[in-house]
Structure 1
Amino acid sequence: MDEVTVYRRALAHLRAGEAGQAAAALRLFLQHRPTDTAGRQMLAMAVAGQGDFLSARVVFAELAQEQPGLPDAWINLGNACLQCGDATAAAHAFGRAQALGSDDVAYLLGHGLALQATEQYSRAERLLARALLHEPNAADVRLAYAQCLAELERFDEIAPCIDDLDPALLTLEQQCSLAWVRAQAGRDEQALQLYQSILQAQPQLHEARLQLVVLLERLNRVDEAARQLQQVPVLQDSITPMFRLASMRVTRRQGNAALALSCMRGVCLQSMPQAMRAQLLFETAKCHEQVGAADAVMQSLAQAHAAARVALLQRHPQLCQRDPLGWLAQRLASPAAQEWCTPAVDALPRDPVFLVGFPRSGTTLLERMLDAHGQLQVMDERPVLEQVISLLQQIPGWDPDSLDRALAGLSTAQLGLARSAYWQRARRHVAGSARLVDKYPLSMTRVAHAARLFPAADWLLMLRHPCDVVLSCYMQAFGINGGALAFESLEATAMAYARVMQWWEQQHVLWPTLRLHVVRYEDLVQPPQAVLASLMAFLQLAVEPSQLQFHKAVRERSRRITTPSYAQVAQPLNPGAIDRWKRYRAHFSTQTLTVLEPWVRRYGYEL
């Protein structure tokens, strides 16, 4: 058989996905033409198709050195390095391709994946967004971009990127990626179904099973999570960071924090990504608290916040120069004009109920009680109002230095468009005719914007002992977002609390018709009948028995609760968290207590 026939046969095998037969034919071809560049390149692709990525990398590295001015040579090397798990070398190879002018999808996708793997998420997002513009229907590009959005915690942007992907048309690896990003986008039922389908076909995919365990625990389906975890063999190569995280969470939720802590023995935290390190350390702190080791809790939290800070700045380097509460500069200078208080007359739903409070004040607990009422539906911590405020700020003539002038300048048409935009976005998360409760705690710092758009809204403010609030915020993993910087120490959290509450106290009184009802957490976790009756009367509704059994509905939910309180609100009311801060009083500095003392007194609490 002549060389040309052998070459063509090898090419046909390669295109048909028959990597082994292609490799055999190409080795035969290269016996006669050992320096043939195209043949060597194809052989490297064939052996990579057989899973021998290291051999492929060696060949691609040789070809890149022989043809240093050829972008494709560096792209092939970059992809081979990625397949070998060497993201740093991959990023270097793709950087060489970029310097040679590469800008096609193969380069953009490969470089974006390499930057993701080296935790350079902002740079990765820019490249993957360009790849998506080039090939908006390519599944591998869409999945890579969705994964990057998840790392950047831009969760609301994920669903449009993946919702019409058909798992049946994807490779197994792509199906695993799709299941994970579905979970990140809040498509929990779809994610569960896909994980179950994947694991039914390939039960040995332990990392996918661990992701399923984490999702089930997050949905408060702890027993199911434990059963899935038992199917992962405890072997050295399966004890990944995800295995430790899943094991710790499930074991702690089952009430055995001491056993959960044993999962961290011998762990080298330095060898894992900062975001995963932070998650493991926050979980370690929860376990230490369950066994009553206050000093160990605070030690783990200090390390967790340090890792979270690094992870945050890897994703958003610009945030180190910003005030995490800088938006508080937007405020009214004088009382709202009377004409702003006239309710809108349009075909849109009734103005919502805004449930607000400083984070960890008990808003999730109250939200669950309200959501159990047949005539209310809760939108749980979705930044819909923030998105509409961003639209307002794009209006020509909007004055960022004077909220009074900016709000006064809104025309009837602009107000109508903004109100419509709010409801259009809200309907992505809730459906039905029941009155909407928009639970987004820090909307309390947007009271002027919200009241201008929705003058007939009702406002519910949750209060809790400021020291308990500050401690609880410091103890929580709020994610890798800018707000987390405000909670990286007890002192910083106390100062953030004081700034936010001062803003609220100065601003909400400037809106003369604001309908406000205040609920104290400490009253709500005692027998709550009287407090709940007063609240529901404010909303002009009767108490329903299901509201006092809300924890049962939580355990039956098919959607996750998006806040750190997801586990607590699956339990009956428990006053055990009242005055929790006293167990940690030794860790509250004089400065922290000095900052909080005026607010403790103002809201009727004691130090």
Structure 2
Amino acid sequence: MQLELERALEDLQQGRHDAAETAMRRLLAATPGFAAGMEVLALALAAQGRVQDARDWLSRAAELQPDSLSVWMNLGNVCLEDADAAAAGTAFERARALGAEDVAWLLGYGLALLGQARFADANGCLATALAREPGAIDVRLAYAQSLAEMERFEELAACLAGVEEASLDHGERRALAWLLAQAGSDAAAQQLYRQLITEAPDAIEPRIQFALLLERLNRLDEAAEVLRGIDPRAEHGSSGMYELAMARVMRRQQQPQVAIQHAEQALLQEVAPAMQAQLQFELARNHDQLGQVDHAMQALASAHAAAVTAFEQRLPAGRMPPVLDWLQQRLLQTAPQAWAQALPDAPARPSDPVFLVGFPRSGTTLLERILDVHPGLEVLDERPALEVVIEQLRSAPTWRDDDLGAALDALSPAALAAARQRYWNEVRRHLPLQGRLVDKYPLTMTRLPYVARLFPQADWLLLLRHPCDCVLSCYMQAFGINGGALAFTSLESTARTYAAIMHWWHEQRERVPARVHVLRYEDLVDDLPAVLSTLMAFLALPGQEQQLSFANHASARARRINTPSYSQVVQPLNASAVGRWRSYRAHFSDETLAILAPWVARYGYTLD
């Protein structure tokens, strides 16, 4: 029997799967209870794509040899192929009890955890596997998938940087294309998708994913053309991705009723919470476009409920973070006068940035597009360059979390220079610096003390919008699991978030030196030339005529507009979003309006 086993294993290694199957069936006919023969037969069947048969044989082998590590490992892998992540997880847990702890086990168990939506656990498991075997491409791709699920896109891009496409098989290249798109490596993803579609024109998933990427890049005609290559009667799977792609493209081609049909069709299926959220947000956008306020609000309630569930799936058990916890980082006393002085290394560095901030959905992306046209400015749109520096500062052994002012004041000239250099290094990862930097990251307004210490010559552009419009727009926006799943779950919670952030800003402005130019979204829409003239004078730059036709520039832009409102800024300037909250006023509770009333008055708006 041992000789027959060895020959069958050799047949498997040489790709003679049918020969191995024949030999093992002959052996098992003579010795029906031979578990090792069942295991090899199962491997031969799995290699031929007969996954369910392989699983049955391995289950029988496990009953006969419950202490066989290899049987449980193989059963786990076959269950993964059979898309049964729960059964795979059980098999791998049995293997762990028998001593499995190598990279093969970490990879298999990590994939099973991903399949069970235990994303944080999967990420930890796969990170360990990659640390042990960084050259294993299957491990790297699996870890990258966990990073994408966690929306840790900066780390995802770094993880994929070492992947050699030429070394991948077709399935791995398909996985890589989607991961590249998630990481914002748009040019590489597009090239790979075109190759994949050429190689397998009937494959549906790459077309759907490619269409979603093209829509994200505001290339609607191309996205629609790619989707037309898919037979609408074909089986698209149960993920909801095809219907989401169709809904987005139809909405943007002014066919909201058709878009609604696609989104509702997907929601009849059992889809993951993150996809449920995307589909419900899409429904809300289309109902809003049709003026169907109540339907839009119903969809939004479902969207946020699903988004919270998706968020919880991506956290370790019991680790739900406090909402707005980072606002505890604040100055308790007025900053020292020395902070306003230029730093010694300043002449050797680029000019201190312009920080474009505002409560989310206040119009910062619109202003960013207007500024991006200017040849004397370079816009960094929503990249966490400053956050990387802050994390580095706070990880120092001498850092004091209990007193931000003291911690910042204690930074030596060398530490300040190193922090500034780290910032510029992060910026240059995303764009070349040929003009003065405009760092557009709306909630950098809650990092005022850090900016004051690191960049004393910085300028600030603060954009305001009617607080009720801001709150409504945030509630209607799919920010992603890391960008508002908890703070924006209702109009009232969004209003509380607005009040907390604006209170923080005004409190800290009294304690920190800063040069701030305040603009209003409504003024931008009403009289762009006048607002732009004053703004460019503040920046000591001459205005450019092409800034008034910024939408043309945004449409032709090669790199991604890295903001949830990417589809809006390629449209000509219009006042359709001004006062939109009034259509939804019946859904603003008395408590919500009471929270916002002081800010409405403070900024010169009304609740009429």
In the other structure, the counterpart of 1:509 is 510
- Secondary structure of the 2:518 match is strand
In the other structure, the counterpart of 2:533 is 533
In the other structure, the counterpart of 1:136 is 134
Give the 3 Å change call, closer, same or farther, for CA 70–10 of structure 1 in structure 2. Answer: closer
**Aligned-pair distance for 1:35?**
4.2
AA aligned to 1:17 is G
- Answer yes or no: is the 8 Å Cα contact 1:319–1:482 preserved in 2: no
Give the 3 Å change call, closer, same or farther, for CA 355–265 of structure 1 in structure 2. Answer: closer
Select between 28-37 and 128-137 the one with higher mean Cα deviation.
28-37
- The separation in 1 between residues aligned to 2:278 and 2:318, in whole angstroms, is 21
**Aligned-pair distance for 1:239?**
5.8
Give the 3 Å change call, closer, same or farther, for CA 309–4 of structure 1 in structure 2. Answer: closer
In the other structure, the counterpart of 1:421 is 422
- The separation in 2 between residues aligned to 1:320 and 1:468, in whole angstroms, is 32
- Equivalent residue runs for 1:573-592 within 5 Å: 573-592=573-592
- Answer yes or no: is the 8 Å Cα contact 2:263–2:282 preserved in 1: no
AA aligned to 1:428 is R
**Aligned-pair distance for 1:509?**
2.7
In the other structure, the counterpart of 2:571 is 571
**Aligned-pair distance for 1:6?**
5.8
Task: Report the RMSD for the aligned CA atoms in angstroms.
Answer: 1.7
1:156 to 146, 154, 157: 154
AA aligned to 1:462 is L
AA aligned to 1:272 is V
- Equivalent residue runs for 1:62-461 within 5 Å: 62-235=60-233, 237-238=235-236, 240=238, 241-268=240-267, 271-317=270-316, 321-346=320-345, 347-461=348-462
**Aligned-pair distance for 1:267?**
4.4
Q: Which residues of structure 1 form unaligned runs of 5+?
A: none
- The separation in 2 between residues aligned to 1:563 and 1:265, in whole angstroms, is 26
- Answer yes or no: is the 8 Å Cα contact 2:140–2:159 preserved in 1: yes
- How many residue pairs get aligned? The number is 604
- Secondary structure of the 1:237 match is coil
1:3-61 per-position Cα deviation (integer Å, ceiling 9, x unaligned): 77765553333223343344344434545555444433222112111111111111111
- Secondary structure of the 2:606 match is coil
In the other structure, the counterpart of 2:480 is 479
- Answer yes or no: is the 8 Å Cα contact 2:28–2:37 preserved in 1: yes
- Equivalent residue runs for 1:15-54 within 5 Å: 15-54=13-52
Select between 558-567 and 225-234 the one with higher mean Cα deviation.
558-567
- Answer yes or no: is the 8 Å Cα contact 1:269–1:277 preserved in 2: no
- Secondary structure of the 2:355 match is strand
AA aligned to 2:560 is R
Select between 420-429 and 487-496 the one with higher mean Cα deviation.
420-429
- Answer yes or no: is the 8 Å Cα contact 1:368–1:550 preserved in 2: yes
- The separation in 1 between residues aligned to 2:311 and 2:261, in whole angstroms, is 28
- The separation in 2 between residues aligned to 1:494 and 1:160, in whole angstroms, is 36
AA aligned to 2:45 is V
Give the 3 Å change call, closer, same or farther, for CA 449–318 of structure 1 in structure 2. Answer: farther
**Aligned-pair distance for 1:265?**
4.2
**Aligned-pair distance for 1:175?**
0.7
- Secondary structure of the 1:460 match is strand
AA aligned to 2:192 is L
AA aligned to 2:451 is A
- The separation in 2 between residues aligned to 1:165 and 1:437, in whole angstroms, is 32
Relative to the length of structure 2, the TM-score reads 0.96
**Aligned-pair distance for 1:385?**
0.9
- Answer yes or no: is the 8 Å Cα contact 1:336–1:510 preserved in 2: yes
- Secondary structure of the 2:475 match is helix
AA aligned to 1:538 is F
- The separation in 2 between residues aligned to 1:589 and 1:438, in whole angstroms, is 35
AA aligned to 1:43 is L
- The separation in 2 between residues aligned to 1:517 and 1:310, in whole angstroms, is 39
1:179-206 per-position Cα deviation (integer Å, ceiling 9, x unaligned): 0110111101100111110110011220
Q: Which residues of structure 2 form unaligned runs of 5+?
A: none
- Secondary structure of the 2:461 match is strand
- 2:14 corresponds to 1:13: no
- Equivalent residue runs for 1:484-503 within 5 Å: 484-503=485-504
**Aligned-pair distance for 1:117?**
0.9
1:329-370 per-position Cα deviation (integer Å, ceiling 9, x unaligned): 111122211111111232222211111100000011111111
- The separation in 2 between residues aligned to 1:480 and 1:306, in whole angstroms, is 12
- Answer yes or no: is the 8 Å Cα contact 1:369–1:550 preserved in 2: yes
Give the 3 Å change call, closer, same or farther, for CA 431–13 of structure 1 in structure 2. Answer: farther
- The separation in 2 between residues aligned to 1:22 and 1:233, in whole angstroms, is 39
**Aligned-pair distance for 1:538?**
1.1
Give the 3 Å change call, closer, same or farther, for CA 289–565 of structure 1 in structure 2. Answer: same
- Answer yes or no: is the 8 Å Cα contact 2:121–2:316 preserved in 1: no
